[in-house]
Structure 1
Amino acid sequence: MTSELNEQQAHEAAKLLQAIAHPKRLLLLAALSDRQLSAGRLAAAVGLPPGMVYKHLHKLVEIGMLTVSAKSAGMRFSIASPETAFKLMEILAVLPVQISGNVA
């Protein structure tokens, strides 16, 4: 099955790829693959100050990768949809193999 990509689809795909291309954003997405976490917990998980984590999280929320829910203990971030989580897990599962396979 061949799928043709039109200009608008290419633009949207490029926007998504650009947003997740940052190493810390990939780490944030991996940390959220099966749970909801606060920005503080995510900051500790990826080794960034909370202010920097909020910038990355905002970008991921902006493109629809993450959702935010308000809990009594503060905001919690999670993957936006099961489909997004599944696609993300597929990508993350292949990355270590691809990276280790390319190291000489």
Structure 2
Amino acid sequence: MAYHPAKARLMESSETRDYSQEAEILKVLGHPVRLKIAAGLCTKECNVKNIWECLGLPQATVSQHLALLKNRGIITGRREGTGVRYSVTNPMVKKIIAALE
């Protein structure tokens, strides 16, 4: 097998990089509901009611998924009156969603 300097450099940079943050994001987005929520929130802000109505899921289920996405730094909530509007603020997540589409 021939030695390829370009491949060796690629592996060296991959071996020294810590992919733990990326792996955590991919793990969280690995659930279909959370992936749908993140994809929808990449395009516009929404409140919990709009999300659960669109997905046809119970409000409690959607709230649990939103809490996990928020705790992992994938989405943020912005208070608006008595409600909260969510959006994706993590640029890496936006790139992942764009790649999937």
Category of TM-score, reference length = shorter chain = 0.7 to 0.9
User: What amino acid is the match of 2:69?
Assistant: L
| Deviation readout 1:54-87 (Å, 9 max, x if unpaired) | 1101111111110100001510100114x24540
1:13-92 aligned within 5 A: 13-81=22-90, 83-84=91-92, 86-92=94-100
Does the 8 A contact of 1:70 with 1:76 survive in 2?
Answer: yes
1:20 aligned partner, one-letter code: L
TM-score (norm 1): 0.75
Q: 1:15 to 1:86 in 2, by over 3 A?
A: closer
User: Whose radius of gyration is greater, 1 or 2?
Assistant: 2
Q: Could you list the runs of 5+ residues in structure 1 that have no partner in the other structure?
A: 94-104
Q: Are positions 1:10 and 2:47 aligned together?
A: no
1 CA distance for matches of 2:74 and 2:87? 9
Aligned residue pairs total: 91
- 1:77 is matched by which residue type in structure 2? Y
RMSD of the TM alignment (CA)? 2.0
Q: Distance between the aligned counterparts of 1:18 and 1:44, measured in 2?
A: 25
How far apart, in 1, do the equivalents of 2:16 and 2:66 lie?
A: 29
Contact kept in structure 2, 1:38 and 1:76, CA below 8 Å: yes
SS at match of 2:77: strand
Once the two structures are superposed, residues 22-64 of structure 1 have per-residue CA deviations (whole angstroms, 9 ceiling, x without a partner) of 0001111121121110011001111211111011011111111
Ranges in structure 2 where 5+ consecutive residues have no aligned partner = 1-8
Q: TM-score, normalised by structure 2?
A: 0.77
Deviation at 1:17, TM superposition (A): 1.1
